[in-house]
Amino acid sequence: MDLVFSSPTPHNASISLQTGELVYEISTNDTKPDSLGLGLGARRTVVKKFSVETPSMTPTEIGYIELHTLHDDRCEVYGRDVRPKDKRKWTSSNGQEYTWQKKDKVSLLDGYQNTVAVYEPQLSGFPSDKPRSPSRLSISPGAGYGRIVDEILITFLYVQQKNATTSKSEGMSNLVGNVVGAFGYAGVAC
């Protein structure tokens, strides 16, 4: 099953199947903006799902992600905590343990190291006259359907956001270190 993102940014997008049928709606907002850029804000992502029986109806919230600086993050699907234990490993509602891994591509592996899902980011058309390939999350038919797909999607979004937050804070640490170093402070106590 391929989940196709309407935007290269998966945290604010609609998701459809390859047939064009709308399945999910994802929106992310800063609930406590970080006006100083120090990584102290809070962010909430809401995932809503369209019903297969009545796709034109309003989508229903199935889960959310809350990223916090000063206390634990939250990541829930249908009221169940699916937050990865070590930022990558999580246990699904079917009792199996899965691990998100980033090598050439972001992929989800089961306990037997089988690939269950792969994220393919949007590829730019090259040469420029070729259309862009949209971002997609491809889920193996062996993963099952229903709630497990919802859990895969939401844990993927969580891991992506954590990776982006980590990259941003590492960049800020390097910037502060470079600024301090430029003024001759080497971290030596006087």
Model confidence pLDDT, tens digit, residues 134-185: 899 999 998 878 899 999 999 999 999 988 765 544 444 444 444 444 445 4
pLDDT grade for 133, boundaries at 50, 70 and 90: confident
What pTM was estimated for this model as a whole? Answer: 0.79
Domain presence at residue 50: yes
> Could you tell me where the beta strands, DSSP code E, fall in the chain?
2-5, 13-16, 22-32, 42-49, 60-67, 74-77, 80-81, 89-91, 97-102, 106-109, 115-120, 136-139
Q: How many domains does the chain have?
A: 1
Express each pLDDT in 30-76 by its tens digit. 887 666 666 667 889 999 999 876 656 789 999 999 998 888 899 99
Domain presence at residue 185: no
Domain presence at residue 176: no
Domain presence at residue 179: no
Domain presence at residue 112: yes
Residue 113: which domain range? 2-164
Domain presence at residue 188: no
